[in-house]
């Protein structure tokens, strides 16, 4: 049972580390990764999509966090 408990703690850590407080950030980044991959496979230069998405989702997350603390 110690192994099962260790595996559960390991998985819980990574879920908490990746998702954190706001589940929309990792979902948005995952969608941007998939969109970048899809555009690249279609032959469209998509190097700009992921950095733009990260900047945008960071700005939205910061604004949402600042609004809830007021």
- Predicted TM-score (pTM) of the model is 0.74
pLDDT range class, residue 59, cuts 50, 70, 90:
very high
DSSP codes, 31-64 = HHHHHHHHHHHTT---TTHHHHHHHHHHHHHHHH
Torsion of CA 35, 41, 43, 45, to 10 degrees: 40
Q: What integer pLDDT is reported at residue 60 of this predicted model?
A: 92
Q: List the chain domain ranges.
A: 21-69
pLDDT digits (tens, 9 = 90+) for 11-54: 999 989 888 878 888 999 999 999 999 999 999 999 999 999 99
């Amino acid at each position: 049972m110690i192994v099962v408990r260790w595996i559960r703690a390991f998985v819980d850590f990574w879920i908490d580390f990746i998702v954190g407080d706001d589940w929309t950030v990792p979902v948005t980044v995952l969608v941007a990764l998939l969109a970048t991959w899809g555009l690249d496979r279609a032959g469209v230069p998509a190097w700009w999509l992921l950095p733009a998405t990260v900047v945008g989702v960071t700005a939205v997350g910061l604004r949402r966090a600042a609004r809830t603390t007021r």
